[in-house]
């Protein structure tokens, strides 16, 4: 049984799911050792997927964290889940032990959640003592305060664990890149189906649903948002799909935010013209500026470039568009949006942080062009692999404003 799903779009070969799983666990343990922790407890369903490649109602688990794992820095990988669901983990060789979970969300425990949190803390503290070799430092990626208090009462020092996971996930192996290309292939097949289905008179939601359908058909998993807008709803950006009917000649813009095959994300944005209309002068101008902005920022990318340098140099849109430019110039990508987020220079002093682009990072470079008070805007985005001397383009779907078919 393969909880992680299979791939049916494209012909991506030459990589190993077994090797991918081993690499990811090794990356985690390397970071855990750097931070001198006895182990890590994971509740975040994306982190659980990265660590063990197991899934169980992923989206539901984001807001109902009853499934969790204890992973020792030197010791076992233990999954905790409902007793009726432990059969789901058959055949996963990275999982050493299975155990019934102790649910302590308010949904599952009601007014007994504090009592259950104490029981959970005792069980996890026992694992730290058993497998920590005297080290009582435990990383946790996401936790209710009652869990922190309970662990501290048991003599366990709680360490922030999300950073450990983000830094583990940041460098992709050749096998991961194979899985990422599969997810992108699925996304781009869905984009093509969506483009073929785009007709005047359809609601935004009707066109957007085509991408969902194709993703599921080809072995993908879910979409993290519904960023699809048409006509005047494209300015400002970040409106989700609505019941607005798209008109001939409207600009249509979207961002896939698609979790595809093997749990990897394809984060690609395109903007098209609906129907058989030619772009207006304004539409073509907005599109050309967005492409130039994207190309200039992508041309900077190579291993060794600092986030600070990227932030400063990426502030190159014409002044009239900067008030509404995208929230970031670029961001990491893997199983979802990941570390780092690289801000534009205007926000860097208040919220930015420095670091270095490294070979093996996968990032998305963003561009949104829409004037404040304008009638429409253009959103485009490319997914790329950072290399020693530049980048490799992972997203291959054409940048073409016309809805040619």
Residues 232-280 have pLDDT tens digits of 999 999 999 999 999 999 999 999 999 999 999 999 999 999 999 999 9
In terms of Cα–Cα distance, which of 247, 127, 254, 136 is closest to 188? 254
Give the model's pLDDT for residue 278: 94
Please state, in angstroms and rounded to a whole number, the distance separating the CA atoms of residues 190 and 196.
10
Give the model's pLDDT for residue 402: 80
88-115 mean pLDDT: 92
Q: Are 221 and 46 in contact (CB under 8 A)?
A: no
Distances (CA, A) of 167 to 2, 117, 142, 384: 27, 29, 16, 18
Lowest mean pLDDT among 61-65, 95-99, 299-303: 61-65
Give the model's pLDDT for residue 12: 60
Number of other CB atoms surrounding residue 185 within 10 Å: 21
Alpha helices in 35-112 (DSSP H): 45-52, 58-63, 106-109
Q: Where are the domains of the chain?
A: 17-169, 174-393
In terms of Cα–Cα distance, which of 50, 58, 399, 44 is closest to 223? 58
Distances (CA, A) of 204 to 120, 211, 270: 46, 12, 15
**Which residue reads 């949006």 in tokens?**
337
pLDDT tier at 14, thresholds 50, 70, 90: confident
The answer on pLDDT for 174 being more than 50 is yes
**Cα atoms in the Cβ-side hemisphere of radius 13 Å centred on 135:** 20
Indicate the CATH number for domain 17-169.
3.40.350.10
**Which residue reads 């007014």 in tokens?**
111
The answer on pLDDT for 383 being more than 90 is yes
The answer on pLDDT for 5 being more than 50 is no
Please state, in angstroms and rounded to a whole number, the distance separating the CA atoms of residues 15 and 8.
15
Q: For residue 362, list its beta bridge partners.
A: 385
Q: Considering the chain, what percentage of its residues have pLDDT values greater than 90? A: 89
The answer on pLDDT for 1 being more than 50 is no
Q: Give this prediction's pTM.
A: 0.94
Pairing type for strands 362-369 and 337-342 reads: unpaired
Q: What phi and psi values does residue 62 have, to the nearest 5 degrees?
A: -60, -35
The answer on pLDDT for 6 being more than 50 is no
Give the model's pLDDT for residue 403: 62
Give the model's pLDDT for residue 405: 45
As a whole number, the mean pLDDT across the chain is 94
Q: For residue 182, list its beta bridge partners.
A: none
Distances (CA, A) of 327 to 2, 342, 363, 383: 37, 9, 15, 17
Domain 174-393, architecture per CATH: Alpha-Beta Complex (3.90)
């Amino acid at each position: 049984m393969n909880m992680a799903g299979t791939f049916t779009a494209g012909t991506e070969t030459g990589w190993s799911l077994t090797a991918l799983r081993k690499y990811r666990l090794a990356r985690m343990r390397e970071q855990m050792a750097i931070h001198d922790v006895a182990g890590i407890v994971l509740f975040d369903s994306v982190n659980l997927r990265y660590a063990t490649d197991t899934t169980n109602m992923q989206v539901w688990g984001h807001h109902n964290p009853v499934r969790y794992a204890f992973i020792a820095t030197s010791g076992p990988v233990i999954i905790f889940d409902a007793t009726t669901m432990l059969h789901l983990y058959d055949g996963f060789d990275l999982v050493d032990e299975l155990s019934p979970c102790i649910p302590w969300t308010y949904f599952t425990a009601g007014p007994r959640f504090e009592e259950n949190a104490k029981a959970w803390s005792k069980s996890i503290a026992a694992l730290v003592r058993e497998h920590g070799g005297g080290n009582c430092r435990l990383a946790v990626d996401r936790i209710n305060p009652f869990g922190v208090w309970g662990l501290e009462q048991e003599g366990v020092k709680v360490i922030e664990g999300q950073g450990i996971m983000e830094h583990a996930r940041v460098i992709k192996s050749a096998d991961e890149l194979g899985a990422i290309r599969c997810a992108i292939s699925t996304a781009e097949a869905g984009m093509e189906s969506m483009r073929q289905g785009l007709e005047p008179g359809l609601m935004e939601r009707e066109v957007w649903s085509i991408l969902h359908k194709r993703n599921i058909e080809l072995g993908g998993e879910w979409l993290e948002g519904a960023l699809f807008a048409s006509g005047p709803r494209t300015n400002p950006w970040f409106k989700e799909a609505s019941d607005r009917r798209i008109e001939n000649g409207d600009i249509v813009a979207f961002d896939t935010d698609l979790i595809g095959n093997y749990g990897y994300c394809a984060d690609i944005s395109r903007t098209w013209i609906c129907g058989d209309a030619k772009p207006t002068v304004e539409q073509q101008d907005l599109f050309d500026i967005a492409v130039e902005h994207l190309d200039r920022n992508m041309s900077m990318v190579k291993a060794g470039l600092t986030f600070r340098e990227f932030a400063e140099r990426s502030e190159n849109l014409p002044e009239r568009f900067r008030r509404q430019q995208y929230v970031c110039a670029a961001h990491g990508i893997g199983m979802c949006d990941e570390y780092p987020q690289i801000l534009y220079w205007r926000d860097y002093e208040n919220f930015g942080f420095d670091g270095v682009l490294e070979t093996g990072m996968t990032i998305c470079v963003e561009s949104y062009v829409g004037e404040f008070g304008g009638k429409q805007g253009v959103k485009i985005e490319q997914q790329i692999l950072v290399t020693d001397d530049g980048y490799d383009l992972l997203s291959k779907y054409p940048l073409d404003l016309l809805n040619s078919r």
